[in-house]
Amino acid sequence: MTSPRTQPAADRPRRGRQRASHSSEAVLSAAVDLLDEAGESALTLRALAARLGTGVGSIYWYVSGKDDLIQRAIDHVLGGVLADIEARAGTGDALDDLRVMAVTLFDAIVDRPWLGTHFMRGIDVEGSSLRLYEDLGRQLLRLDLTPRQRFHGVSAVVGVVVSNALDMGQEPPPSVLDGAVDRDEFLGRYAATWRTLDPDAYPFVHSIVDEFDGHDDKDQFLGALDLTLAGLRLQAGL
Amino acid sequence: MTSPRTQPAADRPRRGRQRASHSSEAVLSAAVDLLDEAGESALTLRALAARLGTGVGSIYWYVSGKDDLIQRAIDHVLGGVLADIEARAGTGDALDDLRVMAVTLFDAIVDRPWLGTHFMRGIDVEGSSLRLYEDLGRQLLRLDLTPRQRFHGVSAVVGVVVSNALDMGQEPPPSVLDGAVDRDEFLGRYAATWRTLDPDAYPFVHSIVDEFDGHDDKDQFLGALDLTLAGLRLQAGL
DNA sequence: GTCATTATCGAACCTCGTTCTATCATCGAA
DNA sequence: TTCGATGATAGAACGAGGTTCGATAATGAC
């Protein structure tokens, strides 16, 4: 009963019954496809089994449960993100590089909102999450910072990326999945509600409602990111 | 069939059957208790009904579903947080005040990790979430910033608070709930794993592992928060 | 060929959110 | 007082989901 959970079957000489060609790879790819196509709620063990042309029980040969499945799926796609990020390193200023990497990561999460929720849960083990953390942090190694400042700095940057990408990922339950209502209109409703509020009770909300209406999510993220980077630049004495 | 969802029964002259004394208040309080005692997974409609000494169906008289229940529970406790926050306003420098408010909010979410996940989902309607947003933002109204800078500024601060509090909220599934393993030891295991990594492949992780081991979560949050605030101070020309 | 190992399959179980219908209590009108 | 209308309550039943389990098939070593 040595399950291939720690060492995928694909790595070993292929044997075993060939009825339906499974493997960690196939399971994970199918899971990612389901996630991409219809979001986190679409990833059910039964749907996954159906797509693989197999039974639910088979999946448990490759993963220990649904949590494990999601974790692996995340690590799976994070591998690609990692390649992108590492390709963009070392060209300029440390903070510029860090910025480019953060933006790349952000874009990836926006592309796949399901990444956000469970993101950074797998930093304990060696995997893409840890590599990502390492790559981000390595930029700060080039600056004149204390270890503590470096540690807090990366945490801050990751936090900004995740929280902003998460923000964008949340959709209204019914509509947007099929594109019936686009995000702009969705956000426009927020703005419309806000405008009806008493300006004396909500002066701030009124002062930014125009900014909010039709705002670009990416700008919002970049704004937050640059605040953090400005703080880091200050700390590094630049 | 006028459900009391928009106007709680408690506000009207008390009538109706008295078999089990329900009300929006009672339902929400019980829900919050369950959440506090054993986390988000403990809040099931059946458990809630049992605690109230009633049937599952009754709960649907007060809330439209589980999402609604959670949203209301959050708004319920956010009311208290709001009071704390508003009590701390207007004493000093705008950014100092903002900092104090952010820390208060952070503490509240750390106290109740279940707040974090669904936090900021109810800013569309008038409620405690929106008030919170307003109170935070009002501090920036006192600074010389453009509307866009204010908008991005509050988003950034909220993002830092939420993402850091969320980080702290995640526990290892089995142990910490009953206090068998405390958080320090839990984090220590991360550090132990990291120390076994190849220092050439993971220079950054190695450089901060001592910092990470036994680190104070709150310091980490404050570090990130101060980076953002430093950026804001810069923007405001202070 | 035999046998242990590797891998697959789906029925069955349990929990959960939600719906539906039956029932009870109270009040206002006839 | 009687009788609907409305306000509330209760729990059975449904369907979907994650997980467990035992049966079974394929493979490789001897």
Provide DSSP, B151-183.
HHHHHHHHHHHHHHHHHHH---SSSGGGTSS-H
Average pLDDT over residues A111-140: 88
Which two tokens mark B148? 């866009």
Average pLDDT over residues A68-75: 95
Q: Residue A36 pLDDT more than 90?
A: yes
Please give the residue of chain B at the shortest CA–CA distance from A223. Answer: B152
Confidence at residue A117, expressed as pLDDT on a 0 to 100 scale: 76
Interhelix angle B24-38/B45-52, nearest 10 degrees? 120
Whether A224 and B140 lie within 8 Å, measured CB to CB: no
Give CA–CA dist B220/B215, Å, rounded. 8
Give CA–CA dist B61/B75, Å, rounded. 19
Give CA–CA dist A235/B6, Å, rounded. 50
Q: Residue B181 pLDDT more than 50?
A: yes
Interacting residues of A23 by C-beta distance below 8 A, sequence separation 6+? A8, A9, A10, A62
Burial category of B141 from C-beta neighbours within 10 Å (exposed 0-12, middle 13-18, buried 19 and up): middle
Confidence at residue A71, expressed as pLDDT on a 0 to 100 scale: 94
Question: Cα-flanking dihedrals φ and ψ of residue A83, to 5°?
Answer: -60, -45
Burial category of A91 from C-beta neighbours within 10 Å (exposed 0-12, middle 13-18, buried 19 and up): exposed
Interacting residues of B43 by C-beta distance below 8 A, sequence separation 6+? B31, B34, B35, B69, B70, B73, B114
Confidence at residue A75, expressed as pLDDT on a 0 to 100 scale: 94
> Could you read off the pLDDT of B68-120 as tens digits, one per residue?
999 999 999 999 999 999 988 767 899 999 999 999 999 999 999 999 878 77
Which of A165 and B7 is assigned the larger pLDDT?
A: A165
Confidence at residue A13, expressed as pLDDT on a 0 to 100 scale: 34
Confidence at residue B201, expressed as pLDDT on a 0 to 100 scale: 96
> Could you read off the pLDDT of B137-153 as tens digits, one per residue?
999 999 999 999 999 99
CB-nearest partner of A147 from B124, B160, B211: B211
Q: Mark out the alpha helices in chain B (DSSP H runs).
A: 24-38, 45-52, 56-62, 66-87, 94-111, 113-118, 128-140, 147-169, 183-195, 203-212, 217-235
Residue type, A7: Q
Q: Residue B174 pLDDT more than 60?
A: no
Which two tokens mark A124? 């304990």
Residue type, B84: D
Confidence at residue B173, expressed as pLDDT on a 0 to 100 scale: 57
CA B7 to chain centroid, in Å, comes to: 25
Average pLDDT over residues A133-160: 95
Confidence at residue A11, expressed as pLDDT on a 0 to 100 scale: 34
Give CA–CA dist A26/B115, Å, rounded. 36
Average pLDDT over residues A77-101: 90
Return the DSSP state at B40: G
Whether B155 and A164 lie within 8 Å, measured CB to CB: yes
Confidence at residue B94, expressed as pLDDT on a 0 to 100 scale: 95
**Interface-testing mutation among A121, A155, A198, A217, with chain B (most B C-beta atoms within 10 A):** A155
> CA B190, B192, B195: angle at the middle one, nearest 5?
110
Domains of chain B: 94-238 (1.10.357.10)
Mapped onto helix, strand or coil, the DSSP state of residue A218 is helix
Average pLDDT over residues A157-170: 88
Return the DSSP state at B53: T
Please give the residue of chain A at the shortest CA–CA distance from B189. Answer: A124
Give CA–CA dist B76/A15, Å, rounded. 58
Confidence at residue B122, expressed as pLDDT on a 0 to 100 scale: 75
Confidence at residue A27, expressed as pLDDT on a 0 to 100 scale: 96
Determine which of A6-15, A56-65, A115-124, B199-208 has the lowest per-residue pLDDT on average. A6-15
Q: Residue A19 pLDDT more than 70?
A: no
> Could you read off the pLDDT of B25-66 as tens digits, one per residue?
999 999 999 999 999 999 999 999 999 999 999 999 999 999
Confidence at residue B10, expressed as pLDDT on a 0 to 100 scale: 36
Give CA–CA dist B110/A98, Å, rounded. 29
Give CA–CA dist B114/B40, Å, rounded. 6
* DSSP string for A66-102: HHHHHHHHHHHHHHHHHHHHHHT-SSS-HHHHHHHHH
Beta-carbon count within 10 A of A198 CB:
10
Whether B189 and A163 lie within 8 Å, measured CB to CB: no
> Could you read off the pLDDT of A186-205 as tens digits, one per residue?
888 889 999 999 999 999 99
Q: Residue B14 pLDDT more than 70?
A: no
Which two tokens mark B90? 């207007």
* Chain B hits for A130, Cβ within 8 Å: 202, 205
| pLDDT classification of A123: cutoffs 50, 70, 90 | confident
Report for A17-21, A52-56, A181-185: range of highest mean pLDDT: A52-56
Mark A208-228 as b/e (b = at least 16 C-beta within 10 Å). Answer: bbebbbebebeebbbbbbbbb
Confidence at residue B3, expressed as pLDDT on a 0 to 100 scale: 55
For the CA of B2 and the C1' of D1, the distance in angstroms is 29
Q: Residue A103 pLDDT more than 90?
A: yes
Confidence at residue A126, expressed as pLDDT on a 0 to 100 scale: 83
Whether A151 and B224 lie within 8 Å, measured CB to CB: no
Average pLDDT over residues A143-166: 94
Q: Residue B4 pLDDT more than 70?
A: no
